Amino acid sequence: MANWGKISAILLACALAGCTTNFNSRLAQASDPQPSRFPSYRLPVKKYELSISWRLEKCLSGAEMEKLGVAKGKPGLVFKVKPDYTSSIVEGPETFVIDYHRMTNRFKIGEMTAEYYQDENKVPTRLLRSINATIEGREPEALKSGIQAVANVAKTVLMLSGGIPAGGANGVRPPNEDASCLKETFDAIADLKAIDGEMEEIADEAKRLENRFTVLKARVVFGKLGKADRRQYEQLAKDMAALVRKRERAEGRAAPLRSLLTYTETFTYQPGRDPSATEPLTADATKAKAFLQKLVTREDAELAEDVKQLAITVKFEANAGEFTSTVITDDQLAVMCGEKDKASQITPCEGVVYREPALGKLVIQAKGADGKYSTISDKAEQLPQVGMFHILPLRSRWGEKNTLSVDFAPIGLPTKVSYKSLEAGGAKMVEAVNQATASALDIATGIRKQNEADAAKEKTPEEKALADLKQQLELADTQAKLVALNKPQDPAEAARARELAALKQEVELADNRAKLRGLTATPDEQAAALTAEIAILRLLKEKKDLEADIREAD
């Protein structure tokens, strides 16, 4: 009855203290103590470095401006706009606190491990890499990832870099009275257009040479390269070398012209609370004005307006159905995670909160001579700051042992999730307690079975000796049975077998009595009982060995 009282007391205490615990995360509050007592993490956001190049390709005459709808007084400049961009992952505004104290109570123990990413300079961040990870972590992936916003210029082959292709500058006109560009500007546009044509011819010729070279390589593989082929190969090498020199000369002439006609500026763009809103980005007025002054015949007041043409807009268009809230609040968490705590008015989420990046397009538009914007890039992108919020829960009820292991990509998306539910604590004990008619020995047996794995891992020397002796006893018993199968049993052996069975019953009885004593005995008493059991089993083993020797002698 004393044992039943202990069990009842444990159940009652657990009910009062709350036997269900959770891994909780919540938004950091301004009222939190500083420094914080708990670890924290931030959700990632993506920012962009935009490199925009405006290359002047045409100066419109008055008639052309009127035809295209360009307002009077405008310079009538036509630019070819080339956008490139790279993206990087940085820490967002939301900070989540990991309240691991809620994982434990008087009857619970918890273990938590959080790992964080480093940036490209090996500086620690609060971007979560893994949590409760039980596997060996990989080296952090680089947080910086780049992608070209538009196709690169036409590439020549065999290690030849490409020039800028012609396009949009058809029909370059000589200077006239109503054009705003200088004569030098017209000349530069025409010269660069001609060089672009040469570059395209070089690229085409290099492609033809590559095709011929590929055929020769195939013959070499099959061992069919003759004298004529060798001469052709030597000529191809000479032609390619000449082509490289020709391209280098063209590049040398084109470089100063591109520098004169091209304006490049870098912008930083980080989508905010409403990424679908169009964000205008305009070139630096002073730098752009200095660029235009070398190309056009315009007064300072006019140039101040002209620089506004060097402008773009950027926005993120999320796919249909994608969630587009960027900064989560406690009120939103209350909808997702449950009611706020009445005392603190803070919403705890029972698990790890993360945000799934939204899919969409990063749309870049450039302003034309007529003041209208047209799309120059609309590449697919993942944007972490506008994704859907999710929770990976971790909960432990009465007697449960659960583990959650999550690896996160820099963009915030889980790359590996492992959840394990392991039976531990009082799972078997609860089952035994529910059997109201079970004896104390049944309860002890249930407890022994539920802890068998743990007991096998760590045993005292006495327990190890007892287990070894029991194993030897079972082996001797098996050997005796094998001998009996091959030898007729006489009455005397039958009598000894019955005696042995009786002794085994006594051993089992002693074992059960020891288990019952273990429910209430002190550690010293339990050790003494184990020592006595070892002595009894040793005597039994010696007796069985003697009996085996007698049987073999007969």
Asked if 253 contacts 199 with a C-beta cutoff of 8 angstroms, the reply is no
For a pLDDT cut of 90, what percent of the chain falls above it?
A: 18
Does the structure show a pLDDT above 70 at 447?
A: no
Query: Comparing C-alpha atoms, which of 342, 273, 469, 368 is closest to residue 78?
Result: 368
pLDDT digits (tens, 9 = 90+) for 448-463: 554 454 455 555 666 6
Q: CA-CA distance, 449 to 428, in Å (whole number)?
A: 8
**Residue 259 binned pLDDT confidence (cut-offs 50, 70, 90):** very high
Q: Which residues of 320-359 are buried (b: 16+ CB within 10 A; e: fewer)?
A: eebebebebeeeebbeebeebeeeeebbbbbbbbbbbbbe
pLDDT at 404 over 70: yes
pLDDT at 93: 82
Q: Which residues pair with 115 in a beta bridge?
A: 130
Which of 133-142, 314-323, 327-336 has the lowest average pLDDT? 133-142
* Residue in the structure block whose two tokens are 């309240």: 99
**359 or 263: whose pLDDT is higher?**
263
Residue 77: other Cβ atoms inside 10 A: 23
Length of the chain equals 554
Among residues 147, 92, 91, 85, the alpha carbon closest in space to that of 123 is found at 91
- State the SS3 of 179-194: CCECHHHHHHHHHHHH
Up-side HSE of residue 144: CA atoms within 13 Å toward CB?
8
Q: Residue 114: pLDDT band by 50, 70, 90 thresholds?
A: confident
- Measured from the Cβ of residue 126, the count of other Cβ atoms closer than 10 Å reads 17
- Least confidently predicted of 48-52, 71-75, 487-491, 543-547: 487-491
